[in-house]
Amino acid sequence: MKRLQAFKFELRLSGSEKRLFYRFSGSCRFVYNKALALQKDRYEKGEKKLNYAGLCKQLTQWRHQNETLWLKEIHSQVLQQSLKDLERAYRNFFEKRADFPQFKRRGVRDAFRFPQGSKLDQSNSRIFLPKLGWLRYRKSRDVLGEISNITVSRYGKRWYVSIQTERDVPTPVHASLSAVGVDVGVARLATLSDGMVYEAVNSFGIHRQRLAFLQRRASKRKKFSQNWKKAMAGVSLLHRKISSIRQDYLHKTTSAISKNHAMVCLEDLQIKNMSKSASGSLAIPGRQVKAKTGLNRSILDQGWHEFRRQLEYKEAWLGGTVIAVPPQNTSRTCPNCDHISAENRSTQAHFECVACGYVNNADKVGAINILRAGHARLACGETVRLGRSMNQEPAEAIQALRA
For residues 218 and 221, give the distance between their C-alpha atoms in angstroms, rounded to a whole number: 5
The dihedral built from the CA positions of residue 237, 212, 278 and 100, taken in this order, carries a sign that is: negative
Task: Quote the pLDDT of residue 282.
Answer: 65
Segment 67-124, tens digit of pLDDT: 999 999 999 999 999 999 999 999 999 999 899 999 999 888 999 999 999 999 999 9
Contact of 142 with 154, CB cutoff 8 Å:
no
Q: What is the arithmetic mean of pLDDT over 161-184?
A: 94
Tens of pLDDT, residue by residue over 219-230, are: 999 998 999 999
Specify whether the CB–CB gap between 30 and 70 falls below 8 A.
Answer: no
Mean pLDDT of 376-383: 70
Q: Dmax over Cα atoms in the chain, in whole Å?
A: 82
Q: By the 8 A CB rule, do 116 and 88 touch?
A: no
Q: What is the pLDDT of residues 325-346, one digit of tens each?
A: 999 999 899 999 999 999 999 8
d(C-alpha 7, C-alpha 46), whole Å: 44
pLDDT value at 134 more than 80: yes
Position 280 scores a pLDDT of 75
* pLDDT at position 236 over 70: yes
pLDDT at 384: 36
Whether the per-residue pLDDT at 386 is higher than 70: the answer is: no
CA distance 179 to 174: 12
DSSP, collapsed to helix, strand or coil, labels residue 399 as helix
pLDDT tens digits, 270-291 = 998 888 888 876 677 788 888 8
* Cα–Cα distance, 28 to 11 (Å, whole number): 20
Pairing, β 197-199 against β 263-267: unpaired
Which residues are tagged catalytic? 183, 267, 363
Supply the Cα-derived Rg of the chain in whole angstroms.
Answer: 25
Q: What is the pLDDT of residue 191?
A: 96
Distance CA 8, CA 108 (A): 19
The mean pLDDT of the chain is 90
Query: pLDDT confidence of 381, banded at 50, 70, 90?
Result: low
Instruction: State the pTM of this model.
Output: 0.87
Across residues 298-307, what is the average pLDDT? Answer: 94
- What is the predicted pLDDT for the residue at 361? 93
pLDDT of 385 reads: 31
Q: What is the DSSP letter of 171?
A: P
356-363: long-range contacts, CB 8 A cutoff, minimum separation 24: 358/334, 360/335, 361/191, 362/331, 363/183, 363/185, 363/187, 363/188, 363/191, 363/197
Q: What is the pLDDT of residues 241-255, one digit of tens each?
A: 999 999 999 999 999
* Count of beta carbons in the 10 Å neighbourhood of residue 320: 28
Contact present, 29 and 116 (Cβ < 8 Å): no
* Residues 265 and 370 sit within 8 Å (Cβ to Cβ): yes
Which pLDDT band, with edges at 50, 70 and 90, does 157 fall under? confident
- 107 vs 28 pLDDT, higher one: 28
| pLDDT value at residue 300 | 93
pLDDT above 70: residue 396: no
